[in-house]
A and B are shown apart, each in its own frame.
Chain A
Amino acid sequence: MSTATDSRTILINPVTRIEGHAKITIHLDERGEVNDARFHVVEFRGFEKFCEGRHYTEMPQITPRTCGICPVSHLLASAKACDAITGREIPRPAKMLRELMHMGQIIQSHALSFFHLSAPDLLLGFDSEPALRNIVGLVHQKPDIAVKGVLLRKHGQEIIKLVGGRKIHADFPVPGGVNKTLTPEQRDTILKGMPAAFEMVSFALDLLKGYHKAHLAEVEDFGSFDSNYMGLVQPDGALELYDGNLRFCDAKGEILHDQIPPAQYLDYIAEAVEPWSYMKFPYLERLGYPTGMYRVGPLARLNLCSHIATPRANAELQEWRAKGRVRTSSFYYHWARLIEIVYALERAEQLLRDPAITSTDILVPNDPQNPEGVGIVEAPRGTLIHHYWVNKDGRVEKVNLIVSTGHNNLAMNKGVQHLAKKYVKAKKLQEGMLNRVEAVIRCYDPCLSCATHAVGKMPIAIELQDAGGAVLDTLRRDPSS
């Protein structure tokens, strides 16, 4: 267990209940103060190379295998990049169907994040029995809540299946549109499930708002720090998840760059590599590295949008902003996720009630007319960028992917540092502090499946390193502790 020495590095490995695996090392200086915290992603698969040579119509099939939790995000971003290569506008019903599938995904992924991955902390307590502090424990201890989570996720997955043909890795969006229409019966089935879904997310919102009230100090300062924010917005600045242009704003919510067309992302975003993580570090190029840190995802989106275009979600947004226009505490990610579920449900309903949703006008030709294309969507976890270059035969020549969790890499590291400084004191490693360090990572709901286009390993151990890098202590959990 822990030994008393001068300085230590704490390594949490793996961070459970996030998608993908990682190690966290916490470096203490000679005085035992937290000097640095690092979030290491330990895997790499190589999508940006091994897609070369394929026909570009396969990209919407290959890239979703980056991630089984948000494959729809990759399907859509990839199809949009391919559309840009065809140089054609897809028919309106196709756009609607893609957005509808996306709403299904937002619902399922955020429900998964909240109920399966974060709720155990909130409902069973950060310091509760680790063996039970998970979805299985939730099922045993609070089965009615667990069921709501399961059913809300199921509603989202059912939308994806009815619209796209399959829950995970559907082959639905293609260059030029989508390959499947929605029948009136399928539309009606989805609409029938809406009231129950609204009820479930309202329940979750009440739960979370209750937790906020009961733990005010903690939630306001949980991995809380200033940062810039990035996300897609509609022409009038409203929240947008499928289409739109990029907006960057600063820690106060002041707009830095607005309505940037996706094709110009390289003028703003650059990436750095650190030798100790397979995940790259995107940053705002004009501000340099690491000053140019920014956050993406539900927190960022709600911070930078002017409003939400659907009424119930917009009302929730106003409540979310009650304490201030910009929320900086990482804990607010959970609440933001639930608000986005409300938006997704409302937007899905809008799309379903539009008669064009069952149209057969869903495809235009897929021959490549441009040598490159960029597709950007707001995945549940944040902005997702696909960029392909092809030759005249449609052969993929180069690929660049910047995935959602990647944008949050600097921020996650900062969040861990912030929390470690607050909770990791002296030379004792306590269970609870480690949970909180992990929990701040979970706020970002990082999808490490995407982020390194890779997945990490289980389990995490915590390593304490001295200023020289020698491992002084490791903390692991026994099932009994």
Chain B
Amino acid sequence: MSTPKQITVTIDGKTCTGTAGQTILEIASAHGIVIPTLCYLKGLSSWGGCRICIVEIKGSPKVVPSCATPAMDGAEIITNSDRLIQLRKCTLELLFSERNHLCPMCPYNKGDCGLQHQGLAHGITGIRYQYLYPAMPIDLTAKYFGLDQNRCILCTRCVRTCDEIEGVHTLDVANRGIRNQIVVDLNATFGASDTCTSCGACVANCPTGALFDKAAAFRGPLASCQTVLTTCTECPVGCGLKVFTKENRIVNVFGDPDSPVNKGHLCVKGRYETWADARERITQPLVRGADGQLHPATWPAAIQRIKDTLAQSPDWETGLLVSPRLTNEAVQTVRKLADKFDRVAAFVAPYEAALCGQPEYAAPDSLQRLDEADAIIVLGARPSEDHGVVAARIRRAVRQRGAKLLIFHARKSGLDRYANICANVVSLERSFWKQVAETLADAQRPVLVYGPQAMSPIGVTVLERLLKSFEDKKEGTGPAVIPLPRSANSLGFGAAGLELLEEIGPWLDTKPMSFLCIVASDEPDGGARLLEERYVRPLLSEVDCLVVQAAYRSALTDMAQVVLPAVTWAEKFGTITNFEGRVLPVRPVLAPVGEMRDDQTILESVFA
């Protein structure tokens, strides 16, 4: 590709250089010239519909939207003439008149609204048009956010975000003219939508209060918050988070636009489940008393209780079972203390152990490979359920670049509808595999993403068959093979050499365990998912002394003799290793309020 041509333009009398193909707005921004915008957002396609970014070009009687107009070499551009200011004011006044933009009752009214900002900046005190007062619907059926049409300016940022970033295209514009309205699917509600993934990217990109986060409403203007960058620990993708805090509370969580992993995008887990779900937090140690109830205790008392219990019964079989969410630093502590226990293990997803132990296959450019792929095979993984940001990349590949998608998984997933071939039951018939080969025939940059289920007997069979079909291709390279585990810090654990359990029942059962410490960390359900496995609950109830180290109360913590309060991701300091092998920082965004401590500190103080 030849280097793009350099061009020179004059903007408001200032000489500015850029490259051919850049828009006037891009060149202006690069030179510190501010042109007001509403519908433009870096990272989305330009729409040019709000007409706020209009500029004048000498020699032309028209005004043009600078966000959507390529700069022509030698052009003389004016951004702030009287005429432009008047036109912008007219446009803003028309926007104010069209719907019910009532600042007093909006959660974004303290400096977080683009429309309010432009109105004030243009000195608009009243409008010259009649207010229409249309009766506009308010959709509150989504769990985490709402859509108030009264406050919408039809900038279509949400439509473009949902289409171009999340890749589902749930939102679009219906009707015509004054009846234009943002709709969900075919005029459904969010609650009834079967395409919306609740990623919340539309809300993050909405310039007004039309799309708003329920859990954040009126809890602090974003303009008044501090921000901390950290890493999400809900899954092994390791998206960068930009957390807005105020007075030691989380006001909202958005993606970190500078993270090379997710580039500002999040899925529902990182965007909302990290902070917007109400959970019962354990704030101090709890010890079960003679009355059979759990009572608050001091750290020394709780630690002493454990030590006394262990000292009384030195012959007890002891175990330590940890969550795969632990940071690398906590994992090191577990390794260090491993010899204090008869058995030490981490619990992972079914068939995941094989994936965890493969740091050598992790490639730092896995996501980049996905972004360039023209054929994607997903085997034994469900990114749409477990790794939302990866699913978004796959959908974009299919919808924007026409990439081929093949899915092999026993269970249905949200990605199935985008696939060329989707097989829940794998056939061994020749015709099926011929079809697979044909679909992959022209692939120049194929990618094979495989999850834990690929390590099941059937999965391994299919994996081998797929790899073979690539070998049979006459030309082209083999696929980039990307292991995609489910557990958050799987690669960190894999490197530590701990035993990885896909089922804990048999582990508990091999020899009766008398003392077990479960480090649930900040598992969102307090570790209760362990109880879903068959026989685990009765086996655990036979443990003489069960200690649970967790952030949230659950059915598991309720079974314990001693509960030790752990910090959450928001209070942790350390690193995790994502599925690409990147070591990513986890930084505390809050100071813990209460007696909570981090996992390694607890383990050391109790067992060291």
User: Are both chains from one complex?
Assistant: yes
**Which residues of the other chain, A, contact B219 by a CB distance below 8 angstroms?**
174, 179, 363, 366
**Which residues of the other chain, B, contact A57 by a CB distance below 8 angstroms?**
107, 214, 217-218
Nearest-CB distance from A453 to chain B (Å)?
A: 15
Question: Which among B105, B191, B218, B248 is the interface contact of A174 at CB below 8 angstroms?
Answer: B218
| Interface positions of B from 43 to 73, Cβ below 8 Å from A | none
**Which residues of the other chain, A, contact B138 by a CB distance below 8 angstroms?**
53-55, 395
Bound Cα distance from A62 to B106, whole angstroms: 9
Would A61 and B104 count as touching, CB distance under 8 A?
yes
Would B105 and A61 count as touching, CB distance under 8 A?
yes
**Which residues of the other chain, B, contact A169 by a CB distance below 8 angstroms?**
104
Bound Cα distance from A69 to B331, whole angstroms: 59
Which single residue of chain A is at the shortest CB-CB distance from B143?
A: A393
Would B249 and A360 count as touching, CB distance under 8 A?
yes
Would A174 and B217 count as touching, CB distance under 8 A?
yes
**Which residues of the other chain, A, contact B106 by a CB distance below 8 angstroms?**
58, 61
- Counting CB contacts under 8 A, is B110 at the interface? yes
Known A57-B107, A395-B138: A179·B220 in contact at CB below 8 Å: yes
Nearest-CB distance from B139 to chain A (Å)?
A: 9
Known A61-B105, A171-B110, A361-B593: A393·B140 in contact at CB below 8 Å: yes
Interface centre among B104, B105, B106, B191 (most CB of A within 10 A): B105
Bound Cα distance from A59 to B214, whole angstroms: 13
Bound Cα distance from A360 to B251, whole angstroms: 13
Bound Cα distance from A54 to B110, whole angstroms: 19
**Which residues of the other chain, A, contact B215 by a CB distance below 8 angstroms?**
365-367
- Counting CB contacts under 8 A, is B278 at the interface? yes
Bound Cα distance from A62 to B138, whole angstroms: 16
**Which residues of the other chain, B, contact A174 by a CB distance below 8 angstroms?**
217-219
- Secondary structure class of chain A's binding surface, majority of residues: loop
- Counting CB contacts under 8 A, is A187 at the interface? no
- Counting CB contacts under 8 A, is B247 at the interface? yes
**Which residues of the other chain, A, contact B217 by a CB distance below 8 angstroms?**
55, 57-58, 174, 366
**Which residues of the other chain, A, contact B191 by a CB distance below 8 angstroms?**
393
Q: Mark A52-79, 1 if CB is under 8 A from B, else 0.
A: 0111011011100100000000000000
| Interface positions of A from 158 to 179, Cβ below 8 Å from B | 169, 171, 174, 179
- Counting CB contacts under 8 A, is A113 at the interface? no
**Which residues of the other chain, A, contact B512 by a CB distance below 8 angstroms?**
none
Q: Mark B234-274, 1 if CB is under 8 A from A, else 0.
A: 00000000000001110000000000000000000000000
**Which residues of the other chain, A, contact B247 by a CB distance below 8 angstroms?**
180-181, 360, 362
Interface residue tally on A, bucketed by range: 20 to 34
Would A179 and B141 count as touching, CB distance under 8 A?
no
Bound Cα distance from A365 to B248, whole angstroms: 15
Nearest-CB distance from A161 to chain B (Å)?
A: 15
Would B105 and A58 count as touching, CB distance under 8 A?
yes
| Interface positions of B from 111 to 166, Cβ below 8 Å from A | 137-138, 140-141, 146, 148
- Counting CB contacts under 8 A, is A394 at the interface? yes
Would B214 and A366 count as touching, CB distance under 8 A?
yes
**Which residues of the other chain, B, contact A394 by a CB distance below 8 angstroms?**
140, 214
Bound Cα distance from A171 to B107, whole angstroms: 9
Nearest-CB distance from B551 to chain A (Å)?
A: 15
| Interface positions of A from 292 to 314, Cβ below 8 Å from B | none
Would A360 and B278 count as touching, CB distance under 8 A?
no
Bound Cα distance from A181 to B593, whole angstroms: 15
**Which residues of the other chain, A, contact B105 by a CB distance below 8 angstroms?**
54, 58, 61-62, 65
| Interface positions of B from 191 to 235, Cβ below 8 Å from A | 191, 212, 214-215, 217-220
Would B218 and A55 count as touching, CB distance under 8 A?
no
Which single residue of chain B is at the shortest CB-CB distance from A363?
A: B249
Which single residue of chain A is at the shortest CB-CB distance from B146?
A: A55
**Which residues of the other chain, A, contact B593 by a CB distance below 8 angstroms?**
360-361
Which single residue of chain A is at the shortest CB-CB distance from B219?
A: A179
Residues of A within 8 A of B (CB): 53-55, 57-58, 60-62, 65, 169, 171, 174, 179-181, 360-367, 393-395
Given A53-B138, A174-B218, A179-B220, output 6 extra A-B contacts at Cβ < 8 Å: A54-B105, A65-B104, A179-B219, A360-B249, A366-B217, A394-B140
Sample (5) of A-B pairs whose CB atoms are under 8 Å apart: A54-B138, A57-B217, A62-B104, A174-B217, A360-B249
